[in-house]
Structure 1
Amino acid sequence: MFQIGELAKRCGVTADTLRFYEKNALIKPAGRSDSGYRLYSAENQKQVAFILRAKDLGLSLDEIKELLEIKLEATEHSCAEVKAITTAKLKVIDDKIEELTRIRSALKKINDACCGEIEDDASHCSILGALASEDVAKSCSHHHK
């Protein structure tokens, strides 16, 4: 058993991070010392490592909490429940990639069309013109509906 500072050091996070995880019910101290300090166990260290690996994969704290709850009662849950969480996350990521690809393509198109002459003033800049064009205004009004 060890105190929060030691757990933080072992996990490579701050004590504030651990308090945040505790506040959000991701971890629970294993006990308390005679003087009232929270005490953590090797199991808590494994839970924090699990949380950090899941965060590295882009999972939200809510998703991580759900996975931890399933892990704690694994015999009462199916592998399909776990896979549903990661499948849903993959869909969100794929949608984001698609959106970023579209944005990149549109931005590259207007960027490539600009001559970028340093001496020219910006009053005839093709990028500013493209952003002010009717097509952009239409896409804006459509986007906010």
Structure 2
Amino acid sequence: MDGLSVSQLAKAANVNAETVKYYERRELLSKPERTDAGYRVFSAAAVDDMNFIKRAQDVGFTLNEIKQLLTFVREEGDPPSKEMFAFAATKIKEIEAKIVQLENFKSLLEQVTALPPHTLPKQECPVLKKLMKGDRADG
């Protein structure tokens, strides 16, 4: 049976073998064949899938989103333009919300760094006050 073992796939994709197993459990990788002894045997295409997953993670997609993107890649026929449009529109909204959250967080940190070092009593630190009173950092 030709193919790649877990360790061979991990090495080819420059990841840990546990990462390969985890992605398989999350159904990001196509179910591999098994040898008579029960060892997984991945196709050469699994290396491309692993690289796709890593690139998608690098740009900020979650594993659930990557799973959805992989279904788009694997579908036969025309590209799922309606589904991809809806997917992209949802992701844009999430990114915009994250930008607002990060801007609020940056503003909070700027309040701290605007003060001379060692002059801020602990109980007056804006970051610690916000975290201690239970507010979310995005608001």
Q: Which residue of 2 aligns with 1:129?
A: 124
The residue number in structure 1 matching 2:116 is 115
Q: Tell me which of 21, 39, 42 is aligned to 1:40.
A: 42
TM-score in terms of structure 2 length: 0.76
* 1:2/1:91 CA distance change after superposition, 3 Å: same
Q: Contact 1:29 / 1:39 at 8 angstroms: preserved in 2?
A: no
Determine the structure 1 residue equivalent to 2:62: 60
Contact (CA 8 Å) 1:111, 1:127: kept in 2 or not? no
Alpha-carbon distance change, 37 to 141 in structure 1, aligned in 2, over 3 angstroms: closer
Deviations 1:94-138 (A, max 9, x none): 2212221222223313431x3335xxxx6xx3674364xxxx78x
1:71-90 matches, within 5 Å, as: 71-75=73-77, 78-90=80-92
TM-score, normalised by the number of residues in structure 1: 0.73
Unmatched 5+ stretches in structure 1: none
Larger-gyration structure (1/2)? 1
Distance 1:130 1:5, change over 3 A: closer
Distance verdict in 2 for CA 1:130–1:32, change over 3 Å? closer
- Highest RCO, 1 vs 2 (Cα 8 Å, sep ≥ 6): 2
- Structure number having the greater helix percentage: 1
Are the structure 2 counterparts of residues 103 and 72 from structure 1 closer, same or farther at C-alpha, using a change threshold of 3 Å? same
Deviations 1:73-95 (A, max 9, x none): 14265223224323322322222
Where structure 2 has 5 or more consecutive residues not aligned to the other structure, the ranges are none
Name the CA distance, whole Å, in 1 between partners of 2:135 and 2:5: 55
CA drift of 1:24 comes to: 0.8
